[in-house]
Structure 1
Amino acid sequence: MLLGALVVFMALTGLVLQRQAETQHEVERVSHSAMQEVADENLQQRGENMVEPLAELLVNPLYYHDLDSMGVLLQGALKQRWIRYVYVFDAQGRVLHDGSESIPAYGLPMDDPLAPAALAATALRTQFSDSIMDVSAPIMIGRERLGGVRIGYDLGAMRVLQERATHQLGVRLKVLAERQMLWLLVLGVALMAMGAAVLWTIQRWLVMPIRNLADAARKIESGHYDVLPLDSKRNDELGELIRAFRNMGRSVARHDRDIRKMAYTDALTGQANRLAFREALDERLLRLSGSGRQLALLFADIDDFKRVNDTLGHDVGDEVLLEVSRRIRDVVQRLGGPGAMLARFGGDEFVILVEAADPRVNVREIATTLGESLVEELGAPLALREREVFLGISIGISMYPDDALTAAMLMKNGDIAMYQAKLAGKNCARYYDNVMNSAVERHVRLETELRGAWERGELSVVYQPVIRVADDAVVGAEALLRWHHPELGEVPPAVFIDVAEKTGLIELLGPKVMTAACRDAARWPPLDGGPPPFVTVNVSARELRSSDLPRSVARSLDYSGLDPGRLLVELTETAMIGDEAHAGRVLQQLRATGVQVWLDDFGTGFSGLSHLRRVPVDGVKIDRSFVADILHDPDDLALTTAIIAMARSLGITVIAEGVENRAQYQLLRDRGCDLAQGFSLANPMSSDEFVALCNDAAAVHLPG
């Protein structure tokens, strides 16, 4: 420490001395420059103050050519300090007097370098050379110039005085610097002596006790909280620290248990958290390795939980999680066995470990029973705040050692199985198998390929004609998106639309499809004796939830020039579930621009009639599942008839989709259905093919 302090002090001293020398040099330079500047200004002012009145006094002597009077005036000027010469000259620049008695330069022209400017000066003028300051002024009588007067000052003599003053300043500064250096040395010695004394004191009274505290800290680190032979009778702060350290060790032992409980427990539900679950899973897999015994992992995710948070708020969401956690815990305690463990993995995800102490017990059967019971228990409504919340649970089950040998793979496979349960319709349990990996990989590949499919020209929009049932006329078309992949071929819409919905890509593709459909429809010609056909475009739930939908539709209409009355927007009932108020506002904005709104898949949602009452629509499409069996299922026929009658009574258009034969078509006509579409009526086609269809009224062939 002393050596380090000495090095630092010497370095700082050297830096101070170097800086002091630089400062001294800078002071000398600035002082010299300032003195020279001030001296030049004073000398110039002095010369101008002398020459100007002298020029006035010389008017008469010059006019009368009175050399004696000139000599008297110039001799007085020559007696001034630093004046080297004085000249009185005539208008041609010839010297008339130089202040001497003999005037040797009389009549000679002035030939020094400063003479031309002095001769040409019409007013007071000051010039400088390396050694002379020349001040001149014209001598005038009225407007006539008689000549002039010049006084030259010796700058060299003045510079000698300046150098002498600068030298004296440097000597004074050097004396001050030496005095300051002496004080620095004295201060350094004092600091070193004081540092040595402080070092000895620290070593004796601080270092040794702190080393004892370090030994105690190592014991605490190793987990020995209560065996601390620390004590001190000192009454100073260090003695208090030693006693506090001893008490801290005892307190840490007490709080360690509480901290571990907090670290391994979910704050909301009180269940084990992700960290506790992962450590327990690693420990169990290590214990089961090579034993031939099984372990089941159930990966459970609450269905549609985000809808609860979005519609009812996060406070209600927390209450739902608490109630769901309680139900899962009750089922696990009842059916999971003594080795079962429940943990909240995060958000709305829960994981369950099922293990049997007896190798003869079939763990797969326990997991199956547990999964089915959880699906049944979570399918029951939850009563919260005077309302019922309907949820469900999707469960993926992976087995050790059949499906995976490591904790990471076991959880990954359980997650994959849970995802397959979601795809299977939710609210169910699925076991992992190798085929699921292929499905997941295919989903990931489709998502990756779909991201650039539009830009690569793989996606295209086709149009399925809409037929007016009353006279078999083509009146419009539904825009459908198709994907032709260069390797996978034609990808089914149900597959890639589902991927786009789940990944959010639909929000990028939707506006592109809308713009393309409006652009194509704007070029469709008018039908025979009527307006051009309309175009319908499907809007996803994600697009409906966005407040940008009306602006996006308006941009498409502006870009294409399509009449808003020829654009119909289709959305499903399920797209409005969760926030009908927002959906109603968005649809009102669309209808205010002239765009019509149709409700697709009508009858398959939760409450179709209520939607017609609260959400403004211009038409409903009867779902194909009802149309397919209207010839054989009396219930489907009755429901279809009721929908048609209800729509007509409300003054809205009713469309039947999925019409496949003449009998269905004729039955819909008898019931008063307005419009129909189906693959047997007309297959989806390009925009040019649709234009040709509209021009050929006989092109629509209904199946027999």
Structure 2
Amino acid sequence: MKLRMGLQARFLMLLGIALIVVVALVALLLNRQERMRREVEGVSREAMRTIVAQSLRRQGEGAVTQLAATLTNPLYYSDLDAIGVLARTTLRTPAVRYVVVYDENGKVVHDGSDEIAHFGRRMDDPLATQVIEAKGLHTQIASDVMDVSMPIMIGRQRIGGVRVGYDTQAMRRDQDDAVGRLRARLDALSQRHVIWIGLLGVGLLMFGALSLGLIQRMLVRPIRQLADAAHAIEDGHFDTATPIDDRNDEVGDLMRAFDRMNRSLARHDREIRRMAYTDALTGLANRLAFRESLESRLDQIHGAGRQLALLFADIDDFKRVNDTLGHDAGDEVLLQCARRIETAVQRVGGEDALLARFGGDEFVILVQGTDATGDDVRGLATQLAETLVVELGVPMTVQDRQVFLGTSIGITMFPEDAASATTLMKNGDIAMYQAKVAGKNCFRFYSRAMNQAVERRVHLEQELRGAWDRGELSLVYQPVFRLVDGAMIGAEALLRWRHPELGFVAPSVFIDVAEQSGLIEVLGPQVLHAACADAVRWQQERDDEHPLFVAVNVSPRQLRSGDLPEVISASLRETGLDAKLLHLELTETAVIGDELHASALLSELRGMGIRVWLDDFGTGFSGLSHLRRVPVDGVKIDRSFVADVLRDPDDLALTTAIIAMAHSLGIMVVAEGVEKEGQYAILRERGCDFAQGYWLGHPVTAEEFLALRV
């Protein structure tokens, strides 16, 4: 069995040996290095200075205190001879430089000399001020002298003082001599150990070199190889070859584990990149991959005069598939659409074309030309868009049911429309939206006018928010008449917007903005509540056995929200309006878009006593057969048929057929847009039940409508 000595054991063994050697060497070096010699010398010098200074100070203060006591009587009696004797005696003391006896005003009385040259002169040296002001024993140290002074007192009366100056230079000379002798001894000691220090240093270097070589070979080199491989992997190079060693220790285990980790990272990186850049449902490139590819293409062709086009394709009415057939069916529809688009792109788009799914029902295609004129790019984009409109307009079978869809396509060109990827993608969205506005199932090229239209629409949306609370929105009522006897039986509530700057905004404009932005879900309940409140006021103002109904339009978005019955019930409860006096008008296309949901919802509303009318009937390509499946109380013939009923036999025949078939199903009929007497007469002749239009009455405010009734 092979004995395994692990890396940890080797390292601990080397560390123990190195530690013993280092401790021994450090112990010797710390006792013999130059720094220690200087520290010892400095400490000694400072200690000597402190000791000598303290000793000199104690000596001086004691001598001056004794001298001041001895001078008390001589100074009091002004005995200069006695003062002089004492001063000269003190002056002869070693290290004393001067002796000065002074009176209470700081004037010199005696200085120990025979001639007393400064007698009667006020002391004016730098230390004199503090000497004169001192109240007791006072010591001052200058550069080369220590001045010790003591006031001379008789009781509490100060009669003068004495000051003695001690020479500090002699003290420094003695100190320097002592430090010099100490330095010589330390130098001699250091010289005796130089050889030993040198030998130990050489041994330490040899041991360090040997240890470094071993560590380098056993530890540093393989770790460095692993670090280099790790840096390459960090930079994204997962195909980097990792070092593998068959050594039987921890480093070998680490290198083999690192190699396994690298292979795992490479595998996960491929999987993550596939997930990050691929649409999970269709397998096409996603938004991130498309954006990177687009920016790369733009960098390649920028300044080269070449062009490219982006096509934004959005499946029309796809939400209806999810709502009616479920999300599984929706996914199947998206897969079929993706395959059709992919086939069309491969056939028409050229070899440089790129297809991606941005999410939901939105697909984006990049096509690129080969010449510098760009004409081929525009033509290629047009041909591809036409092909997509045709291909996606073909019915597809999902869950044994035929699904009819279309596509709206927006096209933007580089560089004529924009030079950056962000702006190109925004322009493509704008063009696609304009294709939907144009009627769907078509394509539109981007133009700057589209951008302005979008900006105006955004501005309208911002202004529409809060317009009801600001009093800019109001309701008007267009009367509805019974054709048999011409009696007014109710009114349709119509919303109007008078903007303080834009003036009157057309309902067709702001209602569409409200529907698209979701504001209709806020405005709808407000309009409903206000209309119900006005209808209640009509009944209160006039007691009539035939009360007037009010008809309120309900948007497709409100119909899809699912809480419409609760909203209506709350309005009726809060206003007190009888449910049978509320008529709801829904567009034919909104009902047909989700027939199953609409049928259940309308049945619930009719169960509450509310009447339901199908508005704009005849424009939704639905046929009268839908009336058998959707529970409604009546239909409103679209004004486009009524307008030509006098001169177009086809419109007259269609109108007559609608009236007859609706009556056969027990459904009432209202004609919209009656603007001529002849239209009124022929509608009454054909059995139409009700009518409304400018010939009968214009939309008016609630107050004007009440006056009309009276």
TM-score of the pair, normalised by structure 1:
0.67
2:686: which partner in 1? 671
Aligned residue among 604, 608, 614 for 1:589: 604
Aligned residue among 292, 295, 311 for 1:282: 295
1:297: which partner in 2? 310
8 Å contact kept, 1:573–1:608: no
2:613: which partner in 1? 598
Aligned residue among 332, 335, 338 for 2:351: 338
Three-state SS of the structure 2 residue aligned to 1:637 is helix
8 Å contact kept, 2:320–2:594: no
Asked whether 1:622 is paired with 2:637, we answer: yes
- Alignment CA distance shift 1:262-1:508 (3 Å): closer
1:659 to partner: Cα distance? 0.9
Asked whether 1:231 is paired with 2:231, we answer: no
Q: In the aligned structure 1, how far is the partner of 2:486 from the partner of 2:543? A: 13
Asked whether 1:388 is paired with 2:406, we answer: no
Q: In the aligned structure 1, how far is the partner of 2:268 from the partner of 2:438? A: 48
Aligned residue among 552, 556, 565 for 2:571: 556
Q: In the aligned structure 2, how far is the partner of 1:230 from the partner of 1:567? A: 83
1:474 to partner: Cα distance? 1.3
Q: In the aligned structure 2, how far is the partner of 1:528 from the partner of 1:241? A: 97
8 Å contact kept, 1:602–1:608: no
> Considering only aligned residues, what root-mean-square deviation do their CA atoms show, in Å?
2.6
Three-state SS of the structure 2 residue aligned to 1:601 is strand
1:261 to partner: Cα distance? 4.0
1:269: which partner in 2? 282
Instruction: String of CA shifts for 1:421-480, please: whole Å, max 9, x gaps.
Output: 111111110011111111101111111111100000000010001011122221110000
Q: In the aligned structure 2, how far is the partner of 1:690 from the partner of 1:643? A: 30
8 Å contact kept, 2:480–2:488: yes
- Alignment CA distance shift 1:245-1:568 (3 Å): same
Asked whether 1:517 is paired with 2:531, we answer: yes
Amino acid at match of 2:557: R
8 Å contact kept, 1:378–1:393: yes
- Alignment CA distance shift 1:243-1:422 (3 Å): same
- Alignment CA distance shift 1:620-1:204 (3 Å): same
Which sections of structure 2, spanning at least 5 residues, go unmatched? Answer: 1-211
Instruction: String of CA shifts for 1:626-658, please: whole Å, max 9, x gaps.
Output: 111112222211111111112222222210001
- Alignment CA distance shift 1:264-1:558 (3 Å): closer
Three-state SS of the structure 2 residue aligned to 1:535 is strand
- Alignment CA distance shift 1:362-1:665 (3 Å): same
Asked whether 1:320 is paired with 2:336, we answer: no
Q: In the aligned structure 1, how far is the partner of 2:287 from the partner of 2:552? A: 45
Q: In the aligned structure 2, how far is the partner of 1:537 from the partner of 1:261? A: 52
1:662: which partner in 2? 677
1:270 to partner: Cα distance? 1.9
1:678 to partner: Cα distance? 0.8
Aligned residue among 471, 486, 489 for 1:457: 471
Aligned residue among 497, 504, 520 for 2:518: 504
1:527 to partner: Cα distance? 7.2
- Alignment CA distance shift 1:261-1:512 (3 Å): closer
- Alignment CA distance shift 1:228-1:582 (3 Å): closer
Which sits farther off after the overlay, 506-515 or 205-214? 205-214
Q: In the aligned structure 1, how far is the partner of 2:446 from the partner of 2:333? A: 28
Amino acid at match of 2:382: T
Amino acid at match of 1:273: N
Q: In the aligned structure 2, how far is the partner of 1:242 from the partner of 1:423? A: 64
Q: In the aligned structure 1, how far is the partner of 2:460 from the partner of 2:657? A: 41
8 Å contact kept, 1:339–1:357: no
Q: In the aligned structure 2, how far is the partner of 1:236 from the partner of 1:370? A: 65
1:423: which partner in 2? 437
Matches within 5 A, 1:89-100: none
Q: In the aligned structure 2, how far is the partner of 1:229 from the partner of 1:417? A: 52
Asked whether 1:350 is paired with 2:363, we answer: yes
2:253: which partner in 1? 240
Three-state SS of the structure 1 residue aligned to 2:620 is coil
Q: In the aligned structure 1, how far is the partner of 2:310 from the partner of 2:634? A: 48
2:462: which partner in 1? 448
8 Å contact kept, 2:309–2:366: yes
8 Å contact kept, 2:324–2:596: no
8 Å contact kept, 2:606–2:612: yes
1:636: which partner in 2? 651
Instruction: String of CA shifts for 1:71-120, please: whole Å, max 9, x gaps.
Output: xxxxxxxxxxxxxxxxxxxxxxxxxxxxxxxxxxxxxxxxxxxxxxxxxx
Three-state SS of the structure 1 residue aligned to 2:546 is coil
Three-state SS of the structure 2 residue aligned to 1:577 is helix
Aligned residue among 354, 377, 392 for 2:391: 377
1:210 to partner: Cα distance? 4.0
1:231 to partner: Cα distance? 2.8
Asked whether 1:404 is paired with 2:418, we answer: yes
1:686: which partner in 2? 701
- Alignment CA distance shift 1:256-1:628 (3 Å): same
Asked whether 1:220 is paired with 2:233, we answer: yes
Q: In the aligned structure 2, how far is the partner of 1:585 from the partner of 1:395? A: 34
Matches within 5 A, 1:572-587: 572-587=587-602
Instruction: String of CA shifts for 1:559-611, please: whole Å, max 9, x gaps.
Output: 22222221111112222234333322322222222221111111222424233
Three-state SS of the structure 1 residue aligned to 2:280 is coil
Q: In the aligned structure 2, how far is the partner of 1:304 from the partner of 1:636? A: 29
Q: In the aligned structure 1, how far is the partner of 2:671 from the partner of 2:341? A: 44
1:253 to partner: Cα distance? 5.4
Matches within 5 A, 1:519-558: 519-525=533-539, 530-558=545-573
1:394 to partner: Cα distance? 0.7
- Alignment CA distance shift 1:594-1:254 (3 Å): closer
1:214 to partner: Cα distance? 1.7
2:36: which partner in 1? none
8 Å contact kept, 1:299–1:352: yes
Which sits farther off after the overlay, 657-666 or 266-275? 266-275
Which sits farther off after the overlay, 580-589 or 676-685? 580-589
Amino acid at match of 1:689: E
Amino acid at match of 2:383: T
1:220 to partner: Cα distance? 2.8
- For the pair shown, the structure with the greater C-alpha radius of gyration is 2
1:532 to partner: Cα distance? 2.2
8 Å contact kept, 1:527–1:533: no
Q: Size of the alignment, in residue pairs?
A: 498
1:203 to partner: Cα distance? 11
Q: In the aligned structure 2, how far is the partner of 1:670 from the partner of 1:322? A: 54
1:222 to partner: Cα distance? 4.1
Q: In the aligned structure 1, how far is the partner of 2:434 from the partner of 2:396? A: 25
Which sections of structure 1, spanning at least 5 residues, go unmatched? Answer: 1-199, 696-704
1:611: which partner in 2? 626
Amino acid at match of 2:524: G
1:307 to partner: Cα distance? 1.4
TM-score of the pair, normalised by structure 2:
0.67
1:257 to partner: Cα distance? 5.1
Provide the identity percentage: 68
